[in-house]
Amino acid sequence: MDKLVVTGGQPLTGSLTVGGSKNTALPLMAASLLADGTTTLTNIPALRDVYTFSNVLRVSGASVSFDESAHQLTVDAGRIDHPEAPYDLVKKMRASFYMLGALIGRCGEARVSLPGGCAWGPRPVDLHLEGMKAFGASIELDQGYVVADAPGGRLDGGTFRMEPSSVGATINLLLGAVTARGGSRIENAAQEPDVVAFGEALRQMGAQIDGLGTRTIEIQGVEALEPITVRNTPDRIEMGTFMVAALLAGEPGVPFQVKNGHHPHLGAAFKKHLADTGAEIAYNDDVVTLTPPEQIRPVSIATATYPGFPTDLQAQWGVLMATADGTARITDTIYDDRFKHIPELQRMGLDAQVSGATATIHGPTDFQAATVMSTDLRASVSLVLAGMIAEGTTEVLRVYHLDRGYEALEQKLQNAGIDIRREQYDEFAEPEEVAERTA
């Protein structure tokens, strides 16, 4: 198993470059199944989730090839003859559940395992299933699998209101509805840029969709979609992570650049709160220039659906607030139990308390190196960020979580001046002192 070894105290210098969005790449891959032919996706990051989902597509009959160096992925969906997504693959990542909508949209039927993914909090698929029923699918559960069928091979269409709004359910319902016999309406739909970029790609394939980026999306089903070549959007969460890293580990008063992102996708809340820390921030096309202040100001946040503060950036924000002079509160209104990184950060010196969906963080903290363990994707990068500014050498274990969403993170950070390397370790090896005593 891999770990990242980070020796703190080296400042970030130069720039960091944002890669393609994981949260848009996976829906685009699912959408490729809707077209009889070869779809080409560019700016696709070389991530564990992309490889996993490629295998999910192959099970259905698709041919998938990925040029990592060119970040180009092609999907030949000319033969989709096995409308199933098996447990051994779906358990590795929740986004595999997009196969439900993709297979219904292409084949009129699907057998998809209930999903797995990060080890935090319940993220039920009830909205996905109820929405499919509202659009005309019959749904049954069979030994951990969702078995769905659209009578006559296509959904009828219908209206479904999501409570609460859900990115995943919005994407799944779009996948199923674009080839329905009639019209469909998604109310309280997700407005996230990932959904909009995905929906725009569906329109390029021939789908008839109105209302992307609003709370109400209207879809008129078409007979079939056409394969396309489309460029994936930049990863807004990686961009936000790098911006937080710049304020954490950059030199006060020295500008640092984050390149190749699309800053409007960050949302107004994140940009406002980042400015409230006292940092100087200049936005210019695909480059953001950040100048860290001498002292970070404490800024409390509450996560919300777009354009609110992204839940996928709250763990990173917690590390930044640990360096602030004062107390800040972080409330996650999207998911329960998303503070499993807090005990690991406390081992590095964090002064924080968690009560329900709120973490209260008292700064400033002088982080001390420790061996810590990743529990999910965004928690893992928060531990790396803490290690960058900690005294001593920190080991971040189980970085397979991080590899699901950050491509070559250690290489990017090395190029920006951080002392970080990847090493292998034995998860179940006895500590040396124990081995010596038992020899």
Q: How many CA atoms lie within 13 A of 100 on its CB side?
A: 34
Which amino acid is residue 388, in one-letter code? M
Tell me how far apart the alpha carbons of residues 336 and 384 are, in angstroms, rounded to a whole number.
23
Structure tokens at 327: 């107390």
125 is in an annotated binding site: yes
Among residues 25, 89, 99, 118, the one annotated as catalytic is 118
> Is 107 considered catalytic here?
no
Domains 2-19+235-424 and 22-231 share a fold: yes
Q: 42 φ, ψ to 5°?
A: -110, 165
The predicted pLDDT at position 435 comes to: 54
| 63-67 and 287-291 beta bridge pairing | unpaired
Residues whose CB is less than 8 angstroms from the CB of residue 202 and which lie 6 or more positions away in sequence, other chains included: 31, 34, 174, 178, 209, 225
126 is in an annotated binding site: yes
Top-tier CATH class for 22-231: alpha beta
**Cα–Cα separations (whole angstroms), residue 69 to 44, 347, 385, 407:** 10, 38, 27, 12
312 is in an annotated binding site: yes
The predicted pLDDT at position 338 comes to: 86
129 is in an annotated binding site: no
**Where do the domains of the chain lie?**
2-19+235-424, 22-231
Q: Which architecture does CATH list for 2-19+235-424?
A: Alpha-beta prism (3.65)
CB 201 within 8 A of CB 31: yes
161 is in an annotated binding site: no
Tell me how far apart the alpha carbons of residues 47 and 57 are, in angstroms, rounded to a whole number.
16
Residues 229-274 have pLDDT tens digits of 999 999 999 999 999 999 999 999 999 999 999 999 999 999 999 9
Residues 311-336 have pLDDT tens digits of 999 999 999 999 999 999 999 998 87
Q: What is the helix, strand, coil percentage profile of the chain, to 5? A: 35, 25, 40
The pTM is what?
0.94
Q: What is the mean pLDDT of each run of 10 residues along the chain (439 residues)?
A: 97 97 97 98 96 97 97 98 94 91 98 67 76 97 94 96 94 98 98 97 98 98 97 97 98 98 97 98 96 98 96 97 98 87 97 96 98 90 98 96 94 98 90 54
The predicted pLDDT at position 436 comes to: 57
Residues whose CB is less than 8 angstroms from the CB of residue 341 and which lie 6 or more positions away in sequence, other chains included: 315, 318, 375, 376, 378, 379, 380, 382, 383
